[in-house]
A and B are shown apart, each in its own frame.
Chain A
Amino acid sequence: MNNLLLVPVLAPFLIGTILILFKSYPTVQRWISAVTALVMLGFSFYITYVVYVDGIQTVELGGWAPPFGIVLVADLFASLMVILSSIVGVVCLFFAFQTISKEREKFYFYPFYMYLLAGVHGAFLTGDLFNLFVFFEVMLIASYILIVHGGTKYQLRESFKYVVINVFASIFFIVGIAYIYGITGTLNMADIAVRVAEIEQTGVLNAIAVLFLVVFGMKGALFPLYFWLPNSYFGPPSAIAALFGGLLTKVGIYAIIRTFTLIFVHDPGFTHNLILILAGGTMFFGVLGAVAQFDFKRILSFHIISQVGYMALGLGLYSQLAIAGAIYYIAHHIIVKSALFLFCGATEKITGTTDLKKMSGLLKSYPVLGWLFLVSAISLAGIPPLSGFFSKFALILNGIEQERYFIVFISLIVGLLTLFSMMKIFIYVFWGEESLEEKDKNKPIMPLLAPILPLVALTIILGIGAEPIFAFSMEVANQLLEPSEYINSVLKE
């Protein structure tokens, strides 16, 4: 019993509600939301510390003992995800202060930002399948609004598809819940895990596993359900795109990893091989999309897809090393992808466009921006000693050990193509003749860069300090592969 776990869920929710009262005072909203985000970041580190020292923490809401009550659970994986989302939450918020227009600020931008964080944290911490659905909805409704926020013609058109697809996926989530409640008679994930182990995972339970894979895969943009992502992430301002690119697909991936390491683990020959196939398709087709594009934001959006594939690859290989690689990859990806989207926002602020063909030679006037972008770009592509290398290295090493050469081959090709398309951005945007007009040359960029710097520093730290961080990921993976610890601490057996 540790009420601390409620803070990351309740704090943004309550503060978001308070922020509504300050609708016409953007400065007050900024201060309140900035302080909340920073405090939450501190709390998330403290929670992880407590979990690391004292083991898995749970809260039974209202004192109802599991499996009947609602329960929040923080194991190492969940608390790590809360840390990562809090980091992205703080950074994108500070970037939003610089780039979001006044009208958007006055139209409840910050409240919905906070609600989104509340939903994301809730989805990470919940130990109950139905509450996972509810927190998904809290997060998604906030995301619907943020993605259409501003209401341009393009945004309206693409958000409609985004909303319909996500609502569709949510409805199938309810269908999956209905099936699993019909079979096991419980919705507590730990309890479901016990019952599934008792009745053996065959036939209908495999079908349910696939249904959940489809639902979470749709939210996490797995092949072939990723088609909605690039267009809808193109519409909103970069601060929101960075938040979404960092967090939203990862919630789907988190749910896949949680259910397929806790509940559906008894027939890996079927489920995990299926995940492996989907991972290969996701990586390959995502990166092909990125190679074909000539727009800063669209390239980055397609890269989200291809990198979600790496995380699924780690789960599909299903060994301690591979899952540790996937977790390391999630940490790396959330940080680097948000940084890259923020770079996109910074160049958009300078040049007024995201089309690669309309800009060139920014390196002369903005050398710091250019070189920092290069660092993040090669980190994404996986050049040592940055963080992208070590996570991919673990995955590929384990793929070779398990003799799955085809998927290793695909992931190597995808790495090369990622490097190619990131270099394309660098060459078009920063290299070549300077195309800026005089008035654009001396814009102050330190305020824009300040929120990005911690992310770039983090990717370097994650790369150079790979040894202890990888040891931590191995521990997280160990906890995931030994669900009995999770089950025992929830059900108190």
Chain B
Amino acid sequence: MELLMILLIGIIFSVSTYLILTNSLLRVIFGIIMLSHGAHLLLLTLSGFNEGAPPLLGEEASVYADPLPQALILTAIVISFGVTAFLLVLGYKTYKAHETDKLDKLRGHADE
């Protein structure tokens, strides 16, 4: 399971790297979204898939699952959700103002 997850994360990271390096605003945003999902999966995988009971108080079990990574990922997902929304709006406004979504046309010049 761990190996499979690591492979999946590797694929997600490479695809998102490719997307971020392309020439289109929207693809860069998609790349960022995928990259953040990859990071969340990595957090889940590295904290271990221990097979234990849910961490409820007052129950008898020999092993409990670690609740912390899930709390962390939840926080991280909320943050990346907000940032993604902001990025999409920013990308849209940039596209409207410059009338292009090609990043090489948004490079700017030294003399301005």
Asked if A383 is at the interface of the complex by the 8 Å CB criterion, the answer is no
Q: How far is the CB of A489 from chain B (nearest CB, A)?
A: 23
Q: Which residues of B contact A134 (CB under 8 A)?
A: 75, 79
Interface members, chain A 174-203 (any B CB < 8 Å): 174-175, 177-179, 181-182, 187
Query: Is B35 in contact with A181, judged by CB distance below 8 angstroms?
Result: no
Q: How far is the CB of B93 from chain A (nearest CB, A)?
A: 6
CB contact between A177 and one of B28, B36, B48, B72 (< 8 Å): that residue: B72
Query: Is A158 in contact with B108, judged by CB distance below 8 angstroms?
Result: yes
Whether A137 contacts B25 in the complex (CB less than 8 A), given A130-B72, A156-B90, A177-B72, comes out as no
Whether A156 contacts B98 in the complex (CB less than 8 A), given A171-B35, A171-B36, comes out as yes
Interface size class of B (residues with CB under 8 A): 20 to 34
Asked if A163 is at the interface of the complex by the 8 Å CB criterion, the answer is yes
Query: Is B86 in contact with A157, judged by CB distance below 8 angstroms?
Result: no
Q: Which residues of A contact B98 (CB under 8 A)?
A: 153, 156-157
Task: Name, among B68, B69, B94, B108, the residue most crowded by chain A CB atoms within 10 Å (CB to CB).
Answer: B94
Other 14 A-B pairs with CB < 8 A, given A164-B20, A167-B36, A187-B72: A130-B72, A137-B79, A157-B98, A157-B106, A160-B91, A163-B87, A164-B87, A167-B32, A167-B83, A168-B20, A171-B35, A174-B42, A181-B72, A182-B48
Q: Report whether over half of chain B's contact residues are helix, strand or loop; otherwise say mixed.
A: helix
A179 to B79: give the CA distance in the assembly, Å.
20
Query: Is B94 in contact with A181, judged by CB distance below 8 angstroms?
Result: no
Q: Mark B16-30, 1 if CB is under 8 A from A, else 0.
A: 000010000100100
Q: Which residues of A contact B25 (CB under 8 A)?
A: 160
Q: List 5 A-B contacts (CB under 8 A).
A: A130-B75, A151-B93, A156-B93, A174-B40, A187-B72
Q: Which residues of B contact A154 (CB under 8 A)?
A: 108, 112
Interface size class of A (residues with CB under 8 A): 20 to 34
Query: Is A174 in contact with B32, judged by CB distance below 8 angstroms?
Result: no
Query: Is A181 in contact with B43, judged by CB distance below 8 angstroms?
Result: yes
Query: Is B79 in contact with A171, judged by CB distance below 8 angstroms?
Result: no
A145 to B98: give the CA distance in the assembly, Å.
19
CB contact between A137 and one of B32, B72, B83, B94 (< 8 Å): that residue: B83
Closest to B72 in A: A130
A137 to B79: give the CA distance in the assembly, Å.
7
Query: Is A178 in contact with B86, judged by CB distance below 8 angstroms?
Result: no
Q: How far is the CB of A149 from chain B (nearest CB, A)?
A: 12
Asked if A144 is at the interface of the complex by the 8 Å CB criterion, the answer is yes
Query: Is A175 in contact with B39, judged by CB distance below 8 angstroms?
Result: yes
Whether A156 contacts B94 in the complex (CB less than 8 A), given A130-B72, A141-B82, A163-B87, comes out as yes
Query: Is A177 in contact with B108, judged by CB distance below 8 angstroms?
Result: no
A40 to B2: give the CA distance in the assembly, Å.
48
Query: Is A171 in contact with B32, judged by CB distance below 8 angstroms?
Result: yes
Interface members, chain A 124-163 (any B CB < 8 Å): 130, 133-134, 137, 141, 144-145, 148, 151, 153-154, 156-160, 163
Q: Mark B68-112, 1 if CB is under 8 A from A, else 0.
A: 110010011001101100110011011001100000001010001
Query: Is A168 in contact with B47, judged by CB distance below 8 angstroms?
Result: no
Q: Which residues of B contact A156 (CB under 8 A)?
A: 90, 93-94, 97-98
User: A: which residues have CB within 8 A of B?
Assistant: 130, 133-134, 137, 141, 144-145, 148, 151, 153-154, 156-160, 163-164, 167-168, 170-172, 174-175, 177-179, 181-182, 187, 231
Q: Which residues of B contact A168 (CB under 8 A)?
A: 20, 32, 35
Q: Which residues of B contact A145 (CB under 8 A)?
A: 86
User: B: which residues have CB within 8 A of A?
Assistant: 20, 25, 28, 32, 35-36, 39-40, 42-43, 45-48, 68-69, 72, 75-76, 79-80, 82-83, 86-87, 90-91, 93-94, 97-98, 106, 108, 112
Query: Is B46 in contact with A178, judged by CB distance below 8 angstroms?
Result: yes
- Total inter-chain residue pairs, C-beta < 8 Å: 90
Q: Which residues of A contact B91 (CB under 8 A)?
A: 160
Query: Is A163 in contact with B35, judged by CB distance below 8 angstroms?
Result: no
Whether A181 contacts B32 in the complex (CB less than 8 A), given A160-B25, A163-B86, A171-B39, comes out as no
CB contact between A160 and one of B40, B48, B106 (< 8 Å): that residue: B106
A272 to B40: give the CA distance in the assembly, Å.
30
Query: Is B86 in contact with A160, judged by CB distance below 8 angstroms?
Result: no
Whether A178 contacts B43 in the complex (CB less than 8 A), given A156-B90, A160-B94, comes out as yes
Closest to B87 in A: A163
Q: How far is the CB of B37 from chain A (nearest CB, A)?
A: 10
Whether A175 contacts B90 in the complex (CB less than 8 A), given A134-B79, A154-B112, A157-B106, comes out as no
Task: Name, among B32, B75, B79, the residue most crowded by chain A CB atoms within 10 Å (CB to CB).
Answer: B79
Query: Is B90 in contact with A181, judged by CB distance below 8 angstroms?
Result: no
CB contact between A182 and one of B35, B47, B83 (< 8 Å): that residue: B47
A167 to B94: give the CA distance in the assembly, Å.
17
Closest to B82 in A: A141
Q: Which residues of A contact B46 (CB under 8 A)?
A: 178-179, 181-182
A179 to B43: give the CA distance in the assembly, Å.
7
Q: How far is the CB of B70 from chain A (nearest CB, A)?
A: 12
Q: Which residues of A contact B35 (CB under 8 A)?
A: 168, 171
A167 to B39: give the CA distance in the assembly, Å.
12
Closest to A161 in B: B106
Q: Which residues of A contact B45 (CB under 8 A)?
A: 178
Q: Which residues of B contact A170 (CB under 8 A)?
A: 79, 83
Query: Is A164 in contact with B83, judged by CB distance below 8 angstroms?
Result: no
Query: Is B76 in contact with A231, judged by CB distance below 8 angstroms?
Result: no
Q: How far is the CB of B74 from chain A (nearest CB, A)?
A: 12
A137 to B77: give the CA distance in the assembly, Å.
12
